[in-house]
Amino acid sequence: QQQVKQSPQSLIVQKGGISIINCAYENTAFDYFPWYQQFPGKGPALLIAIRPDVSEKKEGRFTISFNKSAKQFSLHIMDSQPGDSATYFCAARRRDAGNMLTFGGGTRLMVKP
Amino acid sequence: GAGVSQSPRYKVAKRGQDVALRCDPISGHVSLFWYQQALGQGPEFLTYFQNEAQLDKSGLPSDRFFAERPEGSVSTLKIQRTQQEDSAVYLCASSPDRGVFGYTFGSGTRLTVV
């Protein structure tokens, strides 16, 4: 059973545009929601994260919006740049499971110049 | 070290061969995790260590998979009698403390079983 569902699978955005990636989860035991960025041949790197008691978190061009009642969260990348082209994963942590992460299926983002 | 180091970076194994994948976590990190990432998919949890204790191995796909961390630092993931479905990138991550979220991933080992 896929506990974290991510959409879209792929996304093409023009330079300067807004990239939006959505995730939904099922398990209410999740208590921390990070987003990872992965470039080819590299491991995932933490981008930004949010706790469920906060509805929005912004770091530079990256913003997470969180809707606890709907069990959904999303990543917004403002002023998207070609260097943002990568695969993005949402994830959810169960602290009672030793910080184990459950990942979404990933979104391959391409930002066109 | 500055980051999580994994070796080898690439491994080609013949079906039925045993393989061993190594992970050197960030010095002092208490927690160590192994994930499996199939092509085009998100990482999936395999197993978790806190120091030398393997606290969760619920994600290991079969009894052919075995992980150890005998001295609480370096960890080895061993796969016996490899099969084609084992082909994936194996990622290691470490975290400084159970209560602190400081996950850092290595670049992974790409295993191809032919």
In angstroms, the CA B61 to CA A31 distance is 26
pLDDT at B60: 96
Residue A83 vs residues A29, A89, A108: alpha-carbon distances, Å: 35, 17, 13
Q: Which residues between 94 and 113 in chain B have a beta carbon less than 8 angstroms from any beta carbon of chain A?
A: 95, 98, 101, 103-108
* Exposure string for A52-85, b = 16+ CB within 10 A, e = fewer: beeeebeeeebbbbbeeeebebbbbbeebeeebb
pLDDT class for B103, splitting at 50, 70, 90?
A: confident
Q: Locate tokens 């009698």: which residue?
A: B81
pLDDT at B99: 57
Decide if A62 touches B, using CB distance below 8 A.
Answer: no
pLDDT class for B102, splitting at 50, 70, 90?
A: confident
Helix (H) or strand (E) holding B13: strand B10-13
pLDDT at A71: 95
Q: Which residues are CB-contacts of A46 (< 8 A; sequence separation ≥ 6)?
A: A34, A35, A36, B103, B104
pLDDT at A50: 94
Question: For residues B79 and B64, is the Cβ–Cβ distance under 8 A?
Answer: yes
Q: Answer whether B42 sits within 8 Å of A105, measured CB to CB.
A: yes
Q: Answer whether A89 sits within 8 Å of B43, measured CB to CB.
A: yes
pLDDT tens-digit map of A1-48: 569 999 999 999 999 999 999 999 998 889 899 999 999 999 999 999
Question: Does residue A74 come out as left (phi exceeding 0), alpha (psi in the -120 to 50 range) or beta?
Answer: beta
